Structure 1
Amino acid sequence: MQAFAALLDALVYTRSRHAKLRLIGDYLRTTPDPDRGWALAALTGGLDLKMVQPRLLRDLMTARVDPVLFALSYDFVGDMAETVSLLWPDPPVAAPPPSLADVVDTLASVSRAAAPGVVAGLLDRLDAPGRYALIKLATGSMRVGASARLAKTAFAESFGVDVGEVEEIWHGLVPPYDRLFAWATGAGARPDSGGAPVFRPFMLAQPLEGETIDLADFVAEWKWDGIRVQVVHVPVAAGGDGRTRLYSRTGDDITGSFPDVAGAFAAHAALDGELLVRGEAQGRDQHGGAAASFNALQQRLGRKAPPAKLMTEAPAFVRLYDALVIGDEDLRALPWHARRVRLDDLVATLDPSRFDLSAIVEARDFAALSAVRDAARDDAIEGLMLKRRDSAYVAGRRAGLWYKWKRDPLTADCVLMYAQRGHGKRSSLYSDFTFGCWGAPGELLPVGKAYFGFTDAELAMLDKWVRSHTIGRFGPVIEVEKSLVVEIAFDSIHVSKRHKSGLAMRFPRIARIRTDKPAAEADTVAALARLV
């Protein structure tokens, strides 16, 4: 457990991607089974313990530490795991620390009634870094600056295997990944997917920054504002398990959240597209049909078993971009135009209420295409995708093949209203900000939240300003004087019944701090509504 704790501690304080890869790789090479398998599961989201809730930790702490001291410490630190790990009193007699496998086995089998005693016993056997790692494991909050993709890449690089192969066999494996490590170390054969529809790494696009594209070589499609998915089905007759899977861009299986889409797909294929929902925009979308805003899709994300009413009100569908596999044929080496013909033929056989084809955007030249992009302010469109007509489907982001050309952001001048501390390296700084615009005379209404877009120097300035202009507290949330104006950039804005202002921004970020502008001159909710 100490080695895993040291790894998490190092990841939290390491910014360099290459350094993170090296840290994870070194751990996986030098740690014995099954600890390294459980660690890989934890880093990739494959470990679902979540036996410990914040309430349990608070109860354990207030029985051992002065409640006022604990409350003040948590308020200052801003992270429950860090606060508990540092304040937890050392036991009179130190017991040997458990291994990571011991911790996983214990937490996986403990009952809810026995959890307080078991968790306290484990915390007593660990030092501060070990307690921090234990709490992160037990609460399912592994935000340590390492994504699942990064962990898989580190595994592949450290054992000299292809990360694409790791991705393709991943969903046929179970923690602690004995077969995966046996294959990587040469002690076993490459694991078989066992008939499961496998995930294949996505081809990604580079931002278009100042280049001019020749439309003789490139084709344009709309960049839809949903979530990128891969739809995969292998019928039993072809050696599969007969089930359809939906995978997100990071390789997560999201089938359970969208059974209406999975249940409508039975073609022997692996297809790439954008998951969208039909809703308020149905029947009025002039760019390809019936796609509602991301705000409508967001109501369905993360629901493992969406209710029937929600699936009826916001039916999901996939706007297809590309074909990776059709039947037994892997199409990824073919040029885009050949794959497009095959995809076009297949789409004609699919349920049109659940699957359609992303339209080609026609323009006589690049200047005309730029004008088309600038004019597109549809709820579900972020901009354009530009794809080389002769490009193979290559995993990852390759220069010169695919570009994403997002439309210019919208901006609004808003007033800072509330602030909250961040997480990880930002846990001692106010870095999460709520801002608003004027509704009725003298009334500020929240219109969004932002936690990025500023430099380190600007963050330090904002943190200092919040501390010196605090007028109220609501738990971890600080209310500030309504006097600082910030310019907010956002991709789009939508009607929302969940917000008091009636509006919700898409991807808001702080573009600049307007110390030169009085709060009374900030934008109004009515002005924002005109941008919907």
Structure 2
Amino acid sequence: MLPINREILLLFNKLVEYSNKIKRVSSRNEKIGIIADFLGRLERKEAEIGVDFIAGRIRQGRLNIAWKGLFKLLKTRPDQSKTLPDLIEIDKYLKQTRSKKGKEKITVLLPLFSRLSAVEKKYLVSLILGEVEQGAGEGLVKMAIAKYFNIKDSSMEYAYMHKPDIGKLFVYLLQKGNKGIKSLGIEIFSPVKPMLATIAESIEDVFEEYDDFAMEYKLDGIRIQLHRKADDVKIFSRHLKDITIHFPELIEIARSIPVNEFILDGEAIGIDKNGRPVPFQILAKRTTRKKDIDKMRNKIPVVPKFFDVLYIKGDDLTPVEYIERWKILNNIVINKNYLATRKFPINKSDGKKFIEDSLINGNEGIMVKLFNSPYRAGKRGKFWFKIKKVHTIDCIILAAEWGHGRRKGWLSNLHLGVLDETKKKFLMVGKTFKGLTDKMLIWLTENLPGYKVHEDSWTLYVKPEVVVEIAFNEVQKSPKYDSGYALRFARVKHIRQDKKPNEVNTILDLAKLTRIRSGNEI
């Protein structure tokens, strides 16, 4: 089933119409059907862009535009004399914006926004921010692609693992058809999405459910996927970006390994003069400079900590159990300082001691990996777990968004705020819908409208009266919010009806509780 050769490119307003159709239905199958219909409207030359857009993302990654600039774009006066932009035009504008700095980004985008309606402007802003609220993301788009080509789930997962860019995968299937899946395989210099871990609350939980597992230090570094074939070496980030140029010392280390063809998974760790890990925001500076590479290398030295091997000398090791992959990794990495610190815990006490040691050594926590774990590229599941130090703070609810799917009709996604340093103003530090029980959803939906300030089709904005206790793992710098920071892995623990708004935590408390990470995507 291939797109009709119409030679008419899809206009951006049609994308917005499809997104709104997806948003209006709650059934997953209906959403998949609408997305599949959208896929059939795409010309091949716009297919990659269209797939990314309908998945709620842009190919350029973060554009780092502050809210003040986005607000200016939203207020752009429409120019009725201009033609409506198509998807390729939108993509070109975003590509040009990516290369600009500060106010220049707004200057580039203003002519584009003048050609959009109010609804289209709002949608494009949400697309830029990665916050399209349609109840469908990459997962459902992947299912829609499978429906479009009539591909079995297992075959689609295999294809996605080996070609993890959903837009590029769609174009590949347009070119090769279903039969092309068989020729896909793990390849040197073609990165795969890294395997991900599920959050575990405690080591006790892991011991109660599992028997055979290893523990590793959870490192506060940059995830790297290191590829080597002969003397050619490439290094990819967790977002599959080529970051080779930034780490010449890792190229040298890769060439020192006595095997000439492999793919390793690990973390690049910045170290200080005492050999301790440096905070992530300092390490991240290594990826922002295209000049002075040697100067940055001396200023922030980096060492690798490898913890997995995906491929070696023509053999795909991703189906092999973790315990066997580690043995292979241990055999080929001669310098054991380049391996993640690892332990087989005897009991809960032993596991707790390992966590304590990891934190004392400046790490984030620990990883737990089951012996029988395959390498599931881009997947979370019950094979890898992360246990990190958890912080809790009291936040104020600034707004709540109406839910989708199972939560349709309930106020769920909460906008969270803390007090500024003067304790006179609330600053937004993130959003979360995680941790909310059915009982909490009922309470919020029944009570928040009583504090209503104003409302749009998505969000109820409220007076700062309701306090919630929030658990989170860390804070990162972020231009999205007026506080300049965002909570990571935030989840609701309790609705604190016993607390008053002036008793919530301040922005200064966040600095004391946790290190601030850079908000840059790597």
The TM-score bracket by the shorter chain reads 0.5 to 0.7
Give the match's secondary structure for 2:159.
helix
Q: Which residue of 2 aligns with 1:200?
A: 192
Output the amino acid matched with 1:450: G
Which structure is higher in helix share? Answer: 2
Are 1:434 and 2:428 matched, yes or no?
no
* 8 Å contact from structure 1 (residues 278, 315) kept in 2: yes
TM (norm. structure 2) is 0.65
Output the amino acid matched with 1:221: E
* 8 Å contact from structure 1 (residues 230, 247) kept in 2: yes
Q: Which residue of 1 aligns with 2:519?
A: none
* RMSD of aligned alpha carbons: 5.7
Are 1:34 and 2:45 matched, yes or no?
yes
Distance 2:368 2:63 in 1: 46
Q: Which residue of 2 aligns with 1:449?
A: 429
Change (3 A) 1:35 1:379: same
Q: What is the Cα deviation at residue 40 of structure 1?
A: 2.0
Residues 450-459 or 98-107, more deviating:
98-107
* 8 Å contact from structure 1 (residues 257, 300) kept in 2: no
1:84-123 map, 5 Å? 88=78, 99-101=86-88, 119=112, 122-123=115-116
1:126-525 map, 5 Å? 135=124, 140-141=128-129, 143-145=131-133, 147-148=137-138, 151-152=141-142, 154-159=144-149, 160=151, 161-169=155-163, 178-184=171-177, 197-208=189-200, 210=205, 212=207, 217-235=212-230, 242-248=232-238, 251-255=239-243, 258-260=246-248, 263-264=251-252, 265-266=254-255, 268-279=261-272, 283=274, 290-297=276-283, 303=288, 305=290, 308=293, 312-348=298-334, 356-370=338-352, 372-373=354-355, 377-378=359-360, 380-395=362-377, 397=379, 402-407=383-388, 409-413=390-394, 416=396, 431-436=414-419, 449-452=429-432, 458=444, 465=451, 467=453, 486-491=468-473, 507-518=489-500
Q: What is the Cα deviation at residue 358 of structure 1?
A: 1.2
* 8 Å contact from structure 1 (residues 451, 509) kept in 2: no
Change (3 A) 1:227 1:88: same
Distance 2:509 2:88 in 1: 57
Q: What is the Cα deviation at residue 253 of structure 1?
A: 1.3
Distance 1:52 1:397 in 2: 27
TM (norm. structure 1) is 0.64
Change (3 A) 1:167 1:271: same
Q: Which residue of 2 aligns with 1:7?
A: 18
* 8 Å contact from structure 2 (residues 276, 361) kept in 1: no
Output the amino acid matched with 1:232: H
Output the amino acid matched with 2:162: E
Q: What is the Cα deviation at residue 271 of structure 1?
A: 1.2
CA deviation string 1:52-88 (max 9, x = no partner): 9899999xxxxxxxxxxxxxxx7xxxx955x76xx84
Q: What is the Cα deviation at residue 315 of structure 1?
A: 3.9
Runs of 5+ in structure 1 lacking a partner? Answer: 59-73, 237-241, 284-288, 469-477, 496-500
- Percent identity of equivalent pairs: 18
Output the amino acid matched with 1:291: P
Output the amino acid matched with 1:164: Y
Q: Which residue of 1 aligns with 2:457?
A: none
Output the amino acid matched with 2:327: V
Structure number with greater Rg is 1
Change (3 A) 1:371 1:243: closer
Distance 1:46 1:262 in 2: 30
Q: Which residue of 1 aligns with 2:5?
A: none
Distance 1:393 1:132 in 2: 39
Runs of 5+ in structure 2 lacking a partner? Answer: 1-9, 455-460, 478-482, 516-522
Output the amino acid matched with 1:434: G
* 8 Å contact from structure 1 (residues 218, 387) kept in 2: yes
CA deviation string 1:382-432 (max 9, x = no partner): 4433323243334455765x2415246232446x5x958989999x99954
Q: What is the Cα deviation at residue 158 of structure 1?
A: 3.2
Distance 1:52 1:451 in 2: 18
Q: Which residue of 2 aligns with 1:62?
A: none
Distance 1:116 1:399 in 2: 40
* 8 Å contact from structure 1 (residues 257, 304) kept in 2: no
Distance 1:462 1:300 in 2: 45
Change (3 A) 1:253 1:54: closer
* 8 Å contact from structure 2 (residues 369, 384) kept in 1: yes
Give the match's secondary structure for 2:342.
coil
Give the match's secondary structure for 2:311.
strand
Change (3 A) 1:104 1:218: closer
CA deviation string 1:331-365 (max 9, x = no partner): 22333222212211322269x6xxx2112234322
Q: Which residue of 1 aligns with 2:518?
A: none
Distance 1:21 1:429 in 2: 23
Distance 2:110 2:423 in 1: 50
Change (3 A) 1:528 1:101: closer
Change (3 A) 1:408 1:7: same
Q: What is the Cα deviation at residue 5 of structure 1?
A: 2.8
Change (3 A) 1:168 1:373: same
* 8 Å contact from structure 1 (residues 490, 505) kept in 2: yes
Distance 1:515 1:395 in 2: 43
* 8 Å contact from structure 1 (residues 208, 404) kept in 2: yes
Change (3 A) 1:315 1:129: same
* 8 Å contact from structure 2 (residues 214, 345) kept in 1: no
